[in-house]
């Protein structure tokens, strides 16, 4: 048991946010002997951790921004079918993030960011293997691989830099012509002229079930989940003394901030500025699809993922930079989905449900993991962007070690909360 310095009782830890990251952190802490309460304003697992593309993206070394992107940006932003959207009304809030993002696009920075992503990715799969073995639910993640399918050679050529970057980090990328692609995944239509198969990628059977199973295991080990909204903090001599919610004040010894895209606001209440923005994505669930891909398919031309879950066929898309609670633009998403539907044989968009949610994205495509620089008893665990599901278990494992003042088995300084968020903190970088 982890004992409180003053009372001899187990240390009271509060995990704020019940998405996949908060769930993994809560389980790791209870396993390490903390008395853990997870505070979640809704039911656990219902935000970004619900609506994603379900990929354990072990090949996702390339960051969001690649060199050369600035050249294409005006065309992307003017194209009503493009999945990248910046809502101009929200620009004053997004601009500082975008300026940092722009600085990450310099080739040496991008390479350094890719190294820091690769270091975390190298542990992400093993972390889930251990977690799922511990909770005896290995079936929650499947070894499926992932296909990028291209409708044009031009789109494939445009992806070459990303493919080469993955290979430099040891990721197997198998290039396939149209015939080989359809032999591997018969649900892919004749529209695809070529593709790339990443065998290392895994798929979550159902993202909500994954978070819920971890929460169940957490509860079974004595953890508590309280449905409350965090409103603020009371500070004491050793950092945060109480977490204030809409239901009361909770005395605490340790706080883990894992509130996804809402974390920036909560960190600000702690007096800390972190560069995390809401990057919204959309999904639709489709009924009666005649062919469901066994291997998830990403349209390389349109940035649409098509994945078979236990709950049905899901298509996801869009990177929409706007306020977290701005009205959704399902029409645009639908146009993009319609464009990509022809990639799967016989697919018609019989829509069972629609969804929008916010990735917690940093400009440097790295999560924020580490102790707060101002408050020693606060640990940050958010900002996982496009890879929050992938990095859930490894983040939990790291938070567990930091909480016990042990050293994680990788260098976590690339993810530290007080960095510049433009890649300039990484080894080998010169300030721009």
Ligand X SMILES: Cc1cc2nc3c(=O)[nH]c(=O)nc-3n(C[C@H](O)[C@H](O)[C@H](O)COP(=O)(O)OP(=O)(O)OC[C@H]3O[C@@H](n4cnc5c(N)ncnc54)[C@H](O)[C@@H]3O)c2cc1C
Q: How far apart are CA 220 and CA 281, in angstroms?
A: 33
Closest contact distance (angstroms) between CB of 62 and ligand X is 14
**Shorter beta-carbon distance to ligand X: residue 45 or 106:** 45
Q: Is 39 a binder of ligand X (CB under 6 A)?
A: yes
Residue 150 near residue 300, CB atoms below 8 Å:
yes
Distances in whole angstroms, Cα of residue 394 to Cα of each of 27, 117, 408, 414, 415: 12, 12, 10, 15, 13
* Shorter beta-carbon distance to ligand X: residue 106 or 319: 319
In the bound state with ligand X, the residue whose beta carbon lies nearer, of 11 and 362, is: 362
- Residues within window 253-272 making contact with ligand X, judged by CB under 6 A: 258-262
Q: How near is the Cβ of 230 to ligand X at its closest, in Å? A: 4
β 297-299/146-150 pair status: parallel
Q: Which helix (H) or strand (E) holds 370?
A: strand 368-371
Query: Considering beta carbons, is residue 106 or 387 the nearer one to ligand X?
Result: 387
# residues near ligand X by CB under 6 A: 42
365 binds ligand X (CB under 6 A): no
Pick the binder of ligand X from 293, 357, 363, 370 (CB under 6 A). Answer: 357
> Facing residues of 56 across strands?
202
Integer Cα distance of 118 and 114 in angstroms: 6
With CB under 6 A as the contact rule, which of the stretches 54-62, 83-91, 99-107, 372-380 interacts with ligand X? Answer: 54-62
Q: Which is nearer to ligand X, 38 or 163 (CB)?
A: 38
The yes or no reply on residue 42 touching ligand X (CB under 6 A) is yes
Count of H-run helices and E-run strands, the chain: 12, 21
Contact 16, 22 (CB under 8 A): yes
Nearer to ligand X, 10 or 360 (CB): 360
Rule CB under 6 A: say whether 277 interacts with ligand X: no
Distance CA 97, CA 339 (A): 30
Sign of CA dihedral 390, 395, 396, 397: positive
Tokens for 124, please give them: 């992400």
Count of alpha carbons within 13 angstroms of residue 153, beta-carbon side = 1
Q: Which stretch binds ligand X (CB under 6 A): 49-57, 107-115, 141-149, 323-331?
A: 49-57
The answer to whether residue 295 forms part of the interface with ligand X (CB under 6 A) is no
Q: Is 40 in the site for ligand X (CB under 6 A)?
A: yes
Our finding on whether 165 is near ligand X (CB under 6 A) is no
> CB-wise, 321 or 382, nearer to ligand X?
382
Taking CB under 6 A as the criterion, the residue among 360, 370, 396, 423 binding ligand X is 360
């Amino acid at each position: 048991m982890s004992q409180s310095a003053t009372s001899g009782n187990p240390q009271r830890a509060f995990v704020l946010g019940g998405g996949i990251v908060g769930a993994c952190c809560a389980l790791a802490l209870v396993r390490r002997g903390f008395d853990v309460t997870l505070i979640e304003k809704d039911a656990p697992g219902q935000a970004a951790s619900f609506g994603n593309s379900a990929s354990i993206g072990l090949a996702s070394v390339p960051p969001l921004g690649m060199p050369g992107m600035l050249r294409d940006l005006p065309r992307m932003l003017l194209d009503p079918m493009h999945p990248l959207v910046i809502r101009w009304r929200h620009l004053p809030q997004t601009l500082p993030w975008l300026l940092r993002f722009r600085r990450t696009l310099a080739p040496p920075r991008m390479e350094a960011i890719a190294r820091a992503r690769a270091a975390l990715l190298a542990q992400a799969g093993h972390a889930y293997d251990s977690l799922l073995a511990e909770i005896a639910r290995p079936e929650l993640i499947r070894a499926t691989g992932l296909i990028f399918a291209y409708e044009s050679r031009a789109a494939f050529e445009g992806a070459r830099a990303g493919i080469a970057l993955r290979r430099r980090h040891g990721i197997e990328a198998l290039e396939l012509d149209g015939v080989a692609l359809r032999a591997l995944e018969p649900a892919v239509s004749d529209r695809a002229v070529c593709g790339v198969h990443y065998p290392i990628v895994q798929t979550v059977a159902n993202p909500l079930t994954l978070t819920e199973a971890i929460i169940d295991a957490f509860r079974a080990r004595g953890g508590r989940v309280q449905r409350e909204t965090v409103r603020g903090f009371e500070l004491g001599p050793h950092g945060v003394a109480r977490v204030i919610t809409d239901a009361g004040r909770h005395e605490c010894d340790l706080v883990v901030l894992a509130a996804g895209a809402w974390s920036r606001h909560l960190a600000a209440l702690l007096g800390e500025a972190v560069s995390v923005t809401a990057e919204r994505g959309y999904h639709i669930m489709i009924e009666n699809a005649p062919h469901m891909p066994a291997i998830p398919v990403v349209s390389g031309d349109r940035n649409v993922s098509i994945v078979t879950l236990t709950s049905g066929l899901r298509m996801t898309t869009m990177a929409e930079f706007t306020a977290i609670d701005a009205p959704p633009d399902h029409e645009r998403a639908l146009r993009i989905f319609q464009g990509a539907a022809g990639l799967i044989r016989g697919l018609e968009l019989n829509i069972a449900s629609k969804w929008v949610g916010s990735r917690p994205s940093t400009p440097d495509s790295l999560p924020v993991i580490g102790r707060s620089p101002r408050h020693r008893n606060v640990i940050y665990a958010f900002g996982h962007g496009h890879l929050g599901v992938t990095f859930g278990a490894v983040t939990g494992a790291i938070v567990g070690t930091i909480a016990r003042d042990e050293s994680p088995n990788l260098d976590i300084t690339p993810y530290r909360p007080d960095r510049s968020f433009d890649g300039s903190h990484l080894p080998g970088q010169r300030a721009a």
